[in-house]
Amino acid sequence: MFKTTEDSRIQISELMKPSYANFGGKIHGGYILSLMDNVAFACASKHSRSYCVTASVNKVNFLNPIEVGELVTMKASVNYVGNSSMVVGIRVESENIRTGETKHCNSSYFIMVAVDEEGNKVSVPGLTLTNKLAAKRFIKSIIRQESDTKRSMDLENLYKNLDLHLEKLKDYKVQIDFK
């Protein structure tokens, strides 16, 4: 079975209340991450027709602050599928409801895994790519996955060449005092 990205695409909007603000008066990033996790769950569950869990979140950059009183809209779609995993791309935008001005606040990729009632992984439907944008997103997910795997291997090998890396630290603001 295959589904298109449009089959699982969802969008939610929520007005930002003062209770969501941090000490600086902006909407707390943790609150936004919680909303993003909920949207990723809904999108992945809609695609897989299964309960889904968050396996990881790939890099979140907060590009613009969100103000109290703004309308936040989150758009999510399944960009990639594996056997039981899915990459859900999420775009967060905020809108000043008085002026209509919108801004891109962040984008992120949530890796979700479909599971059964016992927590065992289950297979998910494949993805039908219906346009070049969907194909680009699928390919970018593969490249990101390959890059993450290489990075993990590089970090695992760090101890094998630790002395080489320690030499590089002379260019940084760090003091080495092994005892």
Let me know: does 99 contact 47? Beta carbons within 8 Å. no
Kindly list the domain boundaries of the chain, sorted by start residue: 2-128
Q: What is the maximum alpha-carbon separation in the chain?
A: 61
Measure Cα distances from 105 to 2, 7, 76, 90, 143 in Å: 32, 25, 14, 11, 24
pTM for the whole structure: 0.90
Compute the half-sphere exposure of residue 80: CA atoms within 13 Å on the CB side of its CA.
18
Tokens 């930002």 label which residue? 16
Q: pLDDT averaged over consecutive 10-residue blocks of the chain (179 residues)?
A: 95 98 96 98 98 95 96 98 98 98 97 97 98 96 94 87 84 89
Neighbours of 56 (CB within 10 A): 12
User: Looking at domain 2-128, does it have CATH number 3.10.129.10?
Assistant: yes
The confidence score (pLDDT) of residue 91 equals 98
